[in-house]
Structure 1
Amino acid sequence: MLKTLIIDDEPLAHQVIKHHLQGCDDISVLASCYNATEALRYLAQQQVDLLLLDINMPALSGIELLRVLHNRPAVIIISAYKEYALEGFELDVVDYLLKPVGAERLFAALNKVRRRITSTKLPAEPYIVLKVDREKRKFLLNNISLFEAYGNYVKVWQGEQMTLVNSTLKRLLQQLPGQQFVQVHKSFVINKDKVLAVEHELLRLDGEQQVKVGKLYKHRLIGLL
């Protein structure tokens, strides 16, 4: 649900916008403010996801309002004045609509807001940066099944694909999240999420890799599956 605040000094503009929004089940209009000062007071007490904002208002304009907001929500400007569009986009507004605004144009702008909010809420996929020959390379942690010690190097296994990286297993282990990776042998660190089966001293990983468990690490098998 997108919590929305309408800010416009014209009552008719509020009526038109609310009429268009009647068919939007994910839009909740929390309040209507008729000037920027009133809006600032409201925003100091209530968090919103979206501002539907006019430009030309008494005392404080919509552009001036945006400049003083620190934690700015998504903004769609709805104005009769196209000459402020550049300033609006410099302030990272999602869209700039000209009055009188039609339902189709408003819905297109709302879709932009939905896409932006969805993209910002997606968590970044965790990764580790390791040195391969002379370059640094990013490895997505969720793709890695196994780290295998190989002298002063480590073999990074992603399924059947192996990459040799410049690191010791001990140093690399310090960079890994313990809730996802566990050492089961002096030469092996496995991704818990890739374990398919546990049998005595052997682990079978996704991709049919088999890993021997060292005697000192057997206690780490408890709760692995």
Structure 2
Amino acid sequence: MLKTLIIDDEPLAHQVIKHHLQSYDDISVLASCYNATEALRYLAQQSVDLLLLDINMPALSGIELLKVLHNRPAVVIISAYKEFAIEGFELDVVDYLLKPVSAPRLFSALDKVRRRAAAVTPPVLSYIVLKVDREQRKFQLHDISLLEAYGNYVKLWQGEQMTLVSSTLKQLLQQLPPSQFVQVHKSFIVNRNNIIAVDSAQIRLQGNQLVKVGKLYRPGLAGLL
């Protein structure tokens, strides 16, 4: 059963999608959200398998939602705007449908979601190998508390110990398990297991290290603890 959340600011769009989904026994629509902020609050309390997501919404767009969403489920974008398709696929959405969505096109998208869900889950990483000066060095993931952008390098913090590694924050984010590491600012990635307190502007890690939270990432703070 695919637990599904519909996110769209147009009530009619919800009706159309729900009508198409009536014929599927393996799709369970848990809720309908009418803006991205409402969706973030819901997802902080409830896990889902699939988002059926609009792009053009007030305050926070669908693309912006995906950028700040932690532990992102499978996503199918349903939008009236085709110009965001490339950016959507760069964020690893399963499919991109144009409104008005037809039943056959939605069927094809859902089939892709099922095939992705059935794929073999890769083994969980326990360490990462990074370049430090001229050598390759192994770092245990549970020891990493914070990653901080520093030009073409990254400051890797293990508590109070800092190591300068040859990488960019974007490259590291693609290698780290999203269930354990989350970006909270354009310059910072934190280990969720090291977070002990959160407020609207910063995160406190073990050892009382404070990390600034970027404005774009604040809507997703509720799900960090």
What TM-score does the superposition give when structure 1 sets the normalisation length?
0.54
Q: Report the residue type matching 1:110 in the other structure.
A: L
Q: Which residue of 2 aligns with 1:50?
A: 50
Q: Which residue of 2 aligns with 1:62?
A: 62
Q: Which residue of 2 aligns with 1:17?
A: 17
**Distance (Å, rounded) in 2 between the aligned partners of 1:103 and 1:123:** 36
**Distance (Å, rounded) in 1 between the aligned partners of 2:25 and 2:107:** 12
Please, which runs of 5 or more residues in structure 2 have no aligned partner? 125-225
Q: Within 5 A, what are the aligned runs for 1:43-122?
A: 43-121=43-121
What do you get for the CA RMSD once the two structures are aligned? Answer: 1.4
| Per-residue CA distance 1:175-222 (angstroms, 9 max, x = gap) | xxxxxxxxxxxxxxxxxxxxxxxxxxxxxxxxxxxxxxxxxxxxxxxx
Secondary structure of 1:100's aligned partner: coil
Alpha carbons of 1:80 and 1:45: their partners in 2 closer, same or farther (altered >3 Å)? same
Q: Report the residue type matching 1:80 in the other structure.
A: A
Alpha carbons of 1:19 and 1:42: their partners in 2 closer, same or farther (altered >3 Å)? same
Q: Which residue of 1 aligns with 2:34?
A: 34
Q: Report the residue type matching 1:3 in the other structure.
A: K
Percent identity over paired residues? 85
Q: Which structure carries more relative contact order (alpha carbon 8 Å, separation 6+)?
A: 2
Please, which runs of 5 or more residues in structure 1 have no aligned partner? 125-225
Secondary structure of 2:119's aligned partner: helix
Q: Which has the larger radius of gyration?
A: 1
Alpha carbons of 1:25 and 1:43: their partners in 2 closer, same or farther (altered >3 Å)? same
Number of equivalent positions: 124
Alpha carbons of 1:37 and 1:24: their partners in 2 closer, same or farther (altered >3 Å)? same
Alpha carbons of 1:31 and 1:107: their partners in 2 closer, same or farther (altered >3 Å)? same
1:123 CA drift (Å): 7.9
Range 113-122 or range 25-34, more displaced = 113-122
**Distance (Å, rounded) in 1 between the aligned partners of 2:10 and 2:122:** 37
Q: Report the residue type matching 2:51 in the other structure.
A: L
Alpha carbons of 1:83 and 1:44: their partners in 2 closer, same or farther (altered >3 Å)? same
Alpha carbons of 1:122 and 1:90: their partners in 2 closer, same or farther (altered >3 Å)? closer
**Distance (Å, rounded) in 2 between the aligned partners of 1:47 and 1:120:** 20
| Per-residue CA distance 1:48-71 (angstroms, 9 max, x = gap) | 000000000000000000000120
**Distance (Å, rounded) in 2 between the aligned partners of 1:58 and 1:120:** 37
**Distance (Å, rounded) in 1 between the aligned partners of 2:2 and 2:105:** 18
Q: Report the residue type matching 1:16 in the other structure.
A: V
**Distance (Å, rounded) in 2 between the aligned partners of 1:115 and 1:123:** 19
**Distance (Å, rounded) in 1 between the aligned partners of 2:80 and 2:13:** 11
1:120 CA drift (Å): 3.9
